[in-house]
Amino acid sequence: MSQFVVVKCGGATVDALSDEFYARIARLGEQGKTPVIVHGGGRAVNDMLEMMQVESTFVDGLRRTTKDVLDVAHMVFNGKVNPMICAKLQEAGVKTIGLSGCDGPMIQAKLLDEEKLGLVGKAIHVDPALLQQVTAIGLTPVISPLVAGENGARLNMNADTAAAHYAESLGAEEVMFVTNVPGILQNGEVLPFVTEADIQKMIADGTVYGGMIPKVQAALQVLEGTSVQKVTIIDGESNQAGSGGTTIVKTMEGEKDEHAPLSYL
C-alpha cells in the first residue's frame, strides 16, 4: 500500500524551488510513496495586489481577505503558481493535476471570523475521495489553498492548515515543509532528526529562534492529534542532491528524555 506524503511549499519559496526539489518529488514516487503537494503563494499575491492597487490589511499578522483580495488570490494561486509548479514537476517526469480545495469539494469550510479576517475559512468537512482517485491513476495533485464555502463561494485558508487537513484525511505518515533553510541547526550543523520534546527544549534555550520558531510550531501542530508520525523541514531552494533536512518525530510515552531515531527520507 502506497504511503502518502503531503508536501507543503510556502509562499516565500514557490518561485525559487530548485531542480533538486522537483527531482526529490520524483524520487518519492520511485520509492513507492505518493506525494500530495499543497502550496501557498503569499509573496506573488502581494506583488499582484500592489500592481492592481488593491488594498490589503493585516490583523495580528494575518491577511484580512476581502472579496477583491480573494479574487486576486484566486488568479495568482490557480492561474500562476499552481500551473508553474505543475509544469516544473512534469519536466522532472512527474504526471500532475492542478487542483484547489474547492474541487470535489475536498475541503468544505465556514467563515473562521468574518469580522476580523474576512473570507478566511475553517474546515467543517474534509473529503479525501478525489485525491485518492487521482493518485490511484498515477497523478500527483498540486493543490492551492482556496477552499469551498457555502453556496458555491470560495474562501481562503492558511496553506499549513490545509496541508494538515489533507494529511489527516489521507492517513499520511509524513508531512514535508519546504522552506528556504536547510533544517534545524545546532552548532552550525543540520540536525537529522529531533522529537517534539527536543523542539520545546530548543525553543526554550534559544537553539531555535527567529523565523524558525513559526516553522517548527507549525510542524508540532501537524503532529498533534493526527496520523502523521514525522514532519520533515527541507530547503526547497538548494540544488544539493540528497539534502535530508530535519525530521521531527512524535515523542513516545516514556521517551521524553531519550529516544531512538525513526527512518526518514
DSSP letter at 60?
T
Residue among 161, 170, 162 at smallest CA distance from 227:
170
Q: Taking the alpha carbons of 68, 72, 73, 78 in that order, is the dihedral positive or negative?
A: positive
Grid coordinates representing 166 are 489533507
Confirm or deny that 156 is annotated as ligand binding.
yes
CB atoms within 10 A of CB 210: 8
Confirm or deny that 64 is annotated as ligand binding.
no
Listed in order, strand segments (DSSP E) in the chain are 3-9, 33-39, 58-59, 62-63, 96-101, 107-111, 121-126, 140-148, 154-156, 174-179, 185-186, 189-190, 193-195, 230-235, 246-249
Q: With beta carbons less than 8 A apart as the criterion, state whether 10 and 79 touch.
A: no
Confirm or deny that 42 is annotated as ligand binding.
yes
Q: Which residues contact 210 (CB under 8 A, 6 or more apart)?
A: none
DSSP letter at 145?
E
b/e per residue, 112-127, with b = 16+ CB within 10 A?
Answer: beeeebbbbbebeebe
Binding positions? 41-42, 63, 156
Binding positions for substrate? 41-42, 63, 156
